[in-house]
Amino acid sequence: MLKIYQDKVILKPKAVIFDTDNTLYLYEVAHRAAMKSVMKKAENTLGISSQDFQEVFDLSRKEIKLQLGNTASSHSRLLYFQRAIEKLGMGTRIFLTLDLEQTYWREFLVNTRLFPGVKEFLQQLKSIGIKTANITDLTAQIQFRKIVYFGLDEYFDYVVTSEEAGCDKPNIEPFKMALNKLKTDPEDVWMIGDSPENDIYGAKSNFKMTTLQKIHKGVKVGSNQFAPDVSFDHYSELISLISDL
Amino acid sequence: MYQTSRTLGVTWSDLIRDRLFVAGLVIKLILIFAFIPTIQTEWFVPFIVDAIENPSFSPWSSFISSDKDILAFPYGPIMLLAHLPTTFLGWVIDSATGANYFSGLGFRLSLLGADMLLLILLLQQFESRWRGLLIHYWLSPLVLLITYWHGQTDLIPIVLFMTSIILLKKNKLMLSGMILAASVAAKHSMLITMPFILIYSWFKRNNIKDVYRFVLYFLLVFLLFEGLFLFDYGFQQMVLSNREAEKVFWLAISMGDLLKVYILPLVYLLLVYLTWRLRRINFELLLATLGVAFSVLILLTPAPPGWFLWLTPILALHYSRGNGNAVLLGSLFSLAFVMYHSIYSTGAKIAFFDNLSLSMNIINLSDMPYIQSLLNTAIIGLVMVITLQVFRDGIKGSDYYHLGKKPLVIGISGADNSGKLNFVEALTGLFGKNKVLTISGENYFNWDKYSPMWQTITTSNPRASNIFLMISDLRKIISGEWIKRRGYNRDTGLFSTEKIHRGHQVIIVSGLHALHTKQLIEIHDVKFFLSNKDDNQKSVNNVDFEKYIQPQQKSADIIFEAQTKSNKNIDLTIRIRNGVYYQELFRVLIGICGLQMEVIELDEYGNVELIVQGDIQSGDIRLAANVITPNLSEFIDQESGFHGGTIGVMQLVALMEIDEVLKRRRAAA
């Protein structure tokens, strides 16, 4: 259900910025299915049980994230798989690493679905001349692939990845870069995302954008400095909201 | 957005977030907890409780030995097993609390489980119709009335049956045969689906051994479930002598005092024959055909309400296509059905209110029999019309049907060493060996390798081959005749003895002159020309090549110019005549597969030249093929048919061109 907080006056935006993962589609389901395939492959090629591989993968992921901080590379599956194989005592296996990464993203895409109403909402924004951008924390290569797979490549006017901005949200840079591309004042921009810390806080604290949080199972509405102006469950609610403004 | 089929678990995780699903689930849970169908309390649940309380080898014999109702459980052991766990849990609670409610609740919960599983299976297979299926299946008044109000248990065999045909679609023959056996061992009437499934299996695999294997697994598992019960008196009385079986002979034309013609078996056999004559059926057409078979059974017998349940998934798929007329007719049918059975069938009691029966003589209409007949006529009439729609749409939507009329003929020409043989093998692997007939131009050489004639004429010269005979053979095969032809052994350079060749779903004609002459060009549905970037210069020096081979490029729909020395790093130039789909190919190869691609030229006629570079795995080609040519997914060998590298990209382009040809055929039909 759509909720507007603290009697915030919502005005029609001149531009809307979207987060990608968990905002346009549900990440966890696709990730789980992708990891299942990767573990099956690892089991066949390395002779290691799925559980053991998962443990090493999780550990490698933590290490890489700690090592690289809030950068695009810190999300790289390629690096996670490389480190996991190395931790298994097999040295750097370049072909296998590439193979696992390719398998991961292939299965990820197969099991990914846009939230209902996303395309219709973007179509509505285009039809009334509202500009759109996408800010996302990952490497450009895979985020572009996702957007093409979703068939949204013609819907976004601009895309900013953390690879391009040099750091992840909630740092100021990705937002600044998106606003520069959109050439729009932050007060006239809506930021739609699922993460209170990265999307809502990032857009609100430095730029005073109107923030909208996508709510679904496992996502709680942010509070205090992380509180959004609007929360919603379904994109059809945003379609109605824009129509009424 | 592109979509390919997801796992049941992933489908389920989306489903539980869907409001329509949750709404339907709440309604069904209320019905389960609040209403107790009469036939369940009088027949089904007492039988299962008796089986729990008096364990024996044959619950059927045990049941009738105590003079209980012989009609109580006319189902096989799988139906019993499906209901046993939850009914047993309910029975434990009943026994502990002294209540008489939870055994029945357990029975009804197993039906809800089957209902949900059927929904997930349908959504997994037809995800693009997600909302329609939730409305027309999950919230269907027929399912609510027949299962949760009237209390019929047919959802159990239906969900098993649906699982079986989905497994068959995925080429999991053994498991499919076993699950179908379980479905029949739940309710014997499901046996009527067998001929249609065998026909589907035969058309799909084109391998009689696979059909035998399917039947063998079916029989083995069926005998495992029921073999010993067949000799059991109680099972014979309650299940095999079931009064429903007599309905097959209910409608007959009398031919004298003793002789009759039974209408139902006659119409059923005609339908089986008509299905066979379709020659190719895909999964959706199989479902449509089964819909007709179920309808025939319903129309030509005094069908109990449970039989209508067999139709509900098929009708839901039909309505969810979004055709307004179909939805209107479906609504009228649901209305007539609900009215009829609300008035004339047994219903349910409200739980904990023993005296309050909602059995359905809401209005006393017993003195107005014509109203019952009128309602029945409306139901029968609407089922007839809807069934015709289902069959018509199933045939219309099936690319297989258009393929069934005439085999797909693919012509592949090109220079020596251009990779024709690899491409032929890749396409053969894609469609499956059993579905492809390959005709090599070498078979039509006039002389074997050792003939002195080769000193005066090159293989590139059409006079070295009997092209007239090749055309004549092709025409015969396309029209369904067989030919007897010798083969050419590349290793020895000699001709082998003659063999009989018959038509297949796909005919691949390859050779130096596959696109030479107007007749051959007209015969081919899709025409490819291959050249090798490495050997181009050498070939150009050949006069006959320039005169007879190279001009064939003009007739090709697609020209592949490949760097074949390294199969890993793709360096492929593709020229597509009228390449209407090149943008889609471009998006998928770059966006999904991560290849580098460039449009070199796009002319005013839509002819396009592309360069593809990079590296790609067979799994990515499979993903790309499934997202851009989903209609062909049943037609190709998903397991091992796809290649990586250059050949994989060529397979993908070939599939797009074939898809285009089939669409044109459908539009022209």
Summarised one tens digit per residue, pLDDT across range B469-488 is 999 999 998 888 888 888 88
Does residue A72 register a pLDDT over 90? no
Of A110, A119, A216, the CB nearest to B17: A216
List alpha helices for B444-547, DSSP H.
467-478, 518-523, 536-540, 543-544
- Residue keyed to tokens 């009088």: B42
Distance from CA of A81 to the nearest CA of B (A): 18
- Residues of chain A in Cβ contact (below 8 Å) with chain B: 26, 29-30, 33, 99, 102-103, 106, 109-111, 113-114, 119, 141, 144-145, 147-153, 216-217
Task: Residue A114: list chain B partners with CB under 8 A.
Answer: 1
Report which of B150, B146, B170 is spatially closest to residue B158, judged by C-alpha positions. Answer: B146
Distance from CA of B594 to the nearest CA of A (A): 8
Q: Between chains, do B10 and A148 touch, taking CB under 8 Å as contact?
A: no
Residue of B22, B131, B595, B623 to mutate for A, most A C-beta atoms under 10 A: B623
**CB of B423 closer than 8 Å to CB of B561:** no
**DSSP annotation string for A64-109:** HHHHH-SSGGGG-HHHHHHHHHHHTT----HHHHHHHHHHHHHHHH
| Nearest-angstrom CA–CA distance, B337 and B382 | 10
Q: Between chains, do A216 and B6 touch, taking CB under 8 Å as contact?
A: no
Task: Residue A217: list chain B partners with CB under 8 A.
Answer: 17
**pLDDT value of position B541:** 52
Q: Please, which residues have CB within 8 angstroms of residue B537's CB and are 6 or more apart in sequence?
A: none
Task: Residue B13: list chain A partners with CB under 8 A.
Answer: 26, 29
Global pTM?
Answer: 0.79
Q: Between chains, do A99 and B594 touch, taking CB under 8 Å as contact?
A: no
Distance from CA of B19 to the nearest CA of A (A): 11
For A32, nearest residue in chain B (alpha carbons): B10
Does residue A194 register a pLDDT over 90? yes
A77-91, B278-292, B390-404: segment of lowest average pLDDT = B390-404
Rounded to a whole number, what is the distance in angstroms from the first to the last CA of chain B?
29
Q: Between chains, do B591 and A106 touch, taking CB under 8 Å as contact?
A: no
**More reliable by pLDDT, A56 or B568:** A56
The CA-CA-CA angle for residues B33, B39, B42, to 5°, reads 100
Strands A131-136 and A158-161, by their bridges, are parallel
Which pLDDT band, with edges at 50, 70 and 90, does B28 fall under?
very high
Of B13, B17, B594, the CB nearest to A145: B594
pLDDT tens-digit series, residues B521-543 = 999 999 999 988 765 545 545 78
For A114, nearest residue in chain B (alpha carbons): B1
Report which of A204, A194, A202, A189 is spatially closest to residue A130, judged by C-alpha positions. Answer: A189
Q: Between chains, do A110 and B623 touch, taking CB under 8 Å as contact?
A: yes
Distance from CA of B633 to the nearest CA of A (A): 14
Q: Between chains, do A150 and B3 touch, taking CB under 8 Å as contact?
A: no
Which pLDDT band, with edges at 50, 70 and 90, does B593 fall under?
confident
Q: Between chains, do A149 and B591 touch, taking CB under 8 Å as contact?
A: yes
Residue B354 has a CB neighbour count (10 Å cut-off) of 10
B551, with CB counted inside 10 A (0-12, 13-18, 19+), is exposed
Q: Between chains, do A33 and B2 touch, taking CB under 8 Å as contact?
A: no
Distance from CA of A229 to the nearest CA of B (A): 24
Residue of A45, A100, A102, A110 to mutate for B, most B C-beta atoms under 10 A: A110
Task: Residue A30: list chain B partners with CB under 8 A.
Answer: 10
For B7, nearest residue in chain A (alpha carbons): A111
Strands A210-214 and A189-193, by their bridges, are parallel
- Residues of chain B in Cβ contact (below 8 Å) with chain A: 1-4, 6-7, 9-10, 13-14, 17, 587, 590-592, 594, 617, 619-620, 623, 627
Report which of A128, A133, A110, A141 is spatially closest to residue A25, judged by C-alpha positions. Answer: A110
A32-41, B21-30, B78-87, B273-282: segment of lowest average pLDDT = B273-282
Q: Between chains, do B7 and A102 touch, taking CB under 8 Å as contact?
A: no
Which pLDDT band, with edges at 50, 70 and 90, does B605 fall under?
confident
Distance from CA of B143 to the nearest CA of A (A): 26
| Nearest-angstrom CA–CA distance, A147 and A125 | 17
Which pLDDT band, with edges at 50, 70 and 90, does B401 fall under?
low
Q: Between chains, do A111 and B2 touch, taking CB under 8 Å as contact?
A: no
Of A29, A149, A152, the CB nearest to B10: A29
Q: Between chains, do A106 and B6 touch, taking CB under 8 Å as contact?
A: no
For B621, nearest residue in chain A (alpha carbons): A106
Which pLDDT band, with edges at 50, 70 and 90, does B396 fall under?
confident
Q: Between chains, do B587 and A148 touch, taking CB under 8 Å as contact?
A: yes
pLDDT tens-digit series, residues B162-220 = 999 999 988 888 999 999 999 999 999 899 999 999 999 888 877 788 899 999 999 99
**pLDDT value of position B565:** 62
| Nearest-angstrom CA–CA distance, B176 and B163 | 7
Does residue B2 register a pLDDT over 60? no
**pLDDT value of position A95:** 86
Residue of A28, A111, A139 to mutate for B, most B C-beta atoms under 10 A: A111
In this structure, which amino acid lies at residue B358?
L
| Nearest-angstrom CA–CA distance, B116 and B22 | 11
| Nearest-angstrom CA–CA distance, B149 and B229 | 31
- The secondary element (H helix, E strand) that includes residue B335 is helix B324-344
Which pLDDT band, with edges at 50, 70 and 90, does B257 fall under?
confident
Averaged pLDDT score across all residues of chain B: 87
Q: Between chains, do B591 and A145 touch, taking CB under 8 Å as contact?
A: yes
For B128, nearest residue in chain A (alpha carbons): A113
| Nearest-angstrom CA–CA distance, A100 and A76 | 12
Task: Residue A149: list chain B partners with CB under 8 A.
Answer: 1-2, 591-592, 627
**More reliable by pLDDT, A8 or A131:** A131
Q: Please, which residues have CB within 8 angstroms of residue B203's CB and are 6 or more apart in sequence?
A: B278, B279, B280, B281, B400
Residue of B17, B584, B615, B628 to mutate for A, most A C-beta atoms under 10 A: B17
Of A33, A99, A102, the CB nearest to B7: A33
**pLDDT value of position B253:** 87
Mean pLDDT for the stretch of residues B145-164: 94
Residue of B5, B8, B12, B13 to mutate for A, most A C-beta atoms under 10 A: B13
Of A33, A141, A216, the CB nearest to B10: A33
Of A119, A152, A217, the CB nearest to B17: A217
Residue of A36, A97, A113, A159 to mutate for B, most B C-beta atoms under 10 A: A113
